[in-house]
A and B are shown apart, each in its own frame.
Chain A
């Protein structure tokens, strides 16, 4: 046995929020120079565990030990002083402050007069960023002006540069395009003896980085074993509590030979979009691939009028003709084009409404007579779609904020069906969604195109694009640089095109 105590020992901690149990009697250890994965579906308690270890939340019962001595952080600062640093999933950066100030929060260095020395901070910040392989971020820039991926890097650097004993990385690659950058840094820290807890949804990352992984389900630890000993299926089963034999059930394409166009974009150009043209056919799932920040978000938003276009034409099929709806989300919805946005919390759900109200909203006028609501009719309308998205009926009267990410997303998709969408624009719909809900979403997508609908589908998970899509557009530098289909639609090729390794657009197109 090793005589030095582990860097972190978690001993039987539990945490309740009201009637809900977030953590129940969780125990595990973490040694110096070790990176341990923490897997679990959304709502399994991962974030609560991170917050508890970071000093944001206090556990109800149980104890934590840091290098053998009891660790009871009073707050974030106390945890930091004791050598625990965290890169949070929701990014804890302040948008109106500069990169340099953010890096040194909460106590940027002050001079003898007690004033914060900006210039000195910026020099120091530039040094630190460079030492972590980040050169493209200006230390004097406001965080609010950075791209999401840059903010994620900053968050990671901020957690790392203080040389913590224990480093918590909570979904660090959610907005990161260059994962190798992170993996190198993690390697460096390990070499210095830092203990790392790596929280992720992505199994490939866990397999690549971690020898061992802890799996949480419903707040309880269900597994703590070397990763190599476990098969994918075993891991998914442990996370979901049921068997997911095959993640992607092969299904025939719903695209018929005589399919008509459902949506046609011609020469869309804008600030950050260059000459984008494509046609989405009825019955088709058209994928969009791209590293972070290659214009995909702007493309999706521009299609429903949420992002202004300088030039170009968007046409939507309506009664067999192509029409050009006005550029507003309202007009797009009337034309049958509905966006399921990236930011579920702020743009997807209506957080204070019940689940049923969230789903019924687009059809609320149909559920009322002379503006007076009929709950019975609302219920009946919603009942028509919740089956299609596998949303259990007993969630309907609950506040949507109480649901897991996966069920929230199902409600958002149900709402899109409620809006009688014929053309769905799904922007990374499975982000932050548990394994079971992912399967439901895949099923719903297939059923939707099977019924003659069309889907434009962006995902950060390449295997989804490869398995679900009929064709896949690849974006790089705000333009379409490739279109892959058939045998050419493979993860390797998508990745290589997405990374900007030239490929003539027509080269692999079989059309």
Chain B
């Protein structure tokens, strides 16, 4: 876990100890444990509540962040970033509510259309980054601001419209006592983890993020991988936006803004390296869950918004501190 810049050392002599488990699982596990502890604490602090419903509640409210930060994690894995996520979430939410307009009839075409549009914004980002070589920070910032304007153009003067009741129901229904959003979340985490760590495409992403220069010499499909990642990020933001619209049963164009920075925080708290090449989705998931649990416990404590913000900010810093401290110990 030595950071870059540490000089090459003598390699372990003889039969070296091969790490049995992925060393990146450790930070993920620690953060996940902290998240669970927070949920336990919020249960204890909230008389009359018990662990499982509390867990369900946190999982349901975390799903937007969990889904959106998968895309963010992939872009960060390639050494990039996606700053358009907040806007895409908002646009997807507003699109799905405007087009369904309170009726279930249109869901079947509106949801795919919305996802297509979200993926399209991601595709634009990917093309800009991969083909026009615009730095990701700038490309996604610029496209975010521009598409926000496009969204404004379409919604100016429109009355807010209700979301299709089917989506609202989906976010509130249960199967065998388990909320459907929790099932969606679990499915998503499994698929995302397999994609990132169990497929050849995932391996190529790690390779590209680790050494862009070597990837170029080897002839990895750099442009293709970048386009893939930004498109996926747009798609994830789209899914997140649709779920958010269903959850809040109405949507505004700004609804996704508060999600942007937490997606970055979740990825980094989960142990990823901001300049790319390192990080697993389980860590990001743990980070997202941690942030949501934090939000929940602060709500339970019934604090004023100012105090909540201060505590939340301090805990984010503290979580990062813990990570770096652990690395230092691991390095000896």
Contact = CB atoms under 8 A, between A and B. Distances in A.
**In the complex, is A directly touching B at CB under 8 Å?**
yes
A219 interface: yes
B172 to A, nearest CB: 35
A351 B208 CA distance: 10
Interface in A124-177: none
A420 B313 CA distance: 52
B219 A346 contact: no
The contact size tier of chain B is 35 or more
Contact of B2 (A16, A17, A47): A17
B207 interface: yes
Interface stretch (A111-119, A267-275, A396-404, A483-491): A396-404
B6 A17 contact: yes
A298 B8 CA distance: 29
A48 interface: yes
A17 B11 CA distance: 11
Query: Which of B11, B202, B209, B215 neighbours the largest number of chain A CB atoms within 10 Å of its CB?
Result: B11
A99 interface: no
Contacts of B200: 364-365, 367-368, 371-373
Query: Which of B10, B16, B221 neighbours the largest number of chain A CB atoms within 10 Å of its CB?
Result: B10
Nearest to A328: B219
A259 interface: no
B16 A332 contact: no
Nearest to A347: B213
A329 interface: yes
Contacts of B216: 306, 329, 347
Interface string B244-288: 000000000000000000000000000000000110000000000
A405 B8 contact: yes
B134 interface: no
Contacts of A397: 18-19
B213 A343 contact: yes
B4 interface: yes
A409 to B, nearest CB: 13
Given A43-B10, A332-B219, A361-B207, A394 B15 contact: yes
Nearest to B207: A350
A124 B102 CA distance: 77
Contact of B11 (A18, A20, A373): A20
Interface string A196-226: 0000000000000000000000110000000
Contacts of A47: 7-8
Contacts of B18: 394, 397-398
Interface in B181-230: 194, 198-204, 206-207, 209-211, 213-221
A346 B2 CA distance: 17
B77 to A, nearest CB: 10
Given A51-B7, A347-B211, A361-B203, A18 B331 contact: yes
A1 interface: no
Nearest to B22: A354
A112 to B, nearest CB: 37
B330 interface: yes
Given A353-B206, A353-B207, A397-B18, A17 B214 contact: no
A357 interface: yes
B221 A16 contact: no
Interface string A39-59: 000111101100100000100
Contacts of A357: 203, 206-207
B10 A372 contact: no
Nearest to B331: A18
B278 to A, nearest CB: 5
Contact of B332 (A18, A42, A306, A352): A18
11 contacts: A16-B332, A17-B6, A20-B12, A43-B9, A329-B218, A339-B217, A347-B214, A351-B210, A352-B209, A395-B16, A397-B19
Leading 4 A-B pairs by shortest Cβ distance:
A330-B219, A329-B219, A397-B18, A352-B210
Given A20-B12, A395-B11, 18 more contacts: A16-B332, A17-B332, A18-B2, A20-B9, A22-B7, A43-B9, A44-B10, A45-B10, A48-B7, A350-B210, A351-B210, A351-B211, A361-B203, A372-B199, A372-B200, A402-B9, A404-B11, A407-B11
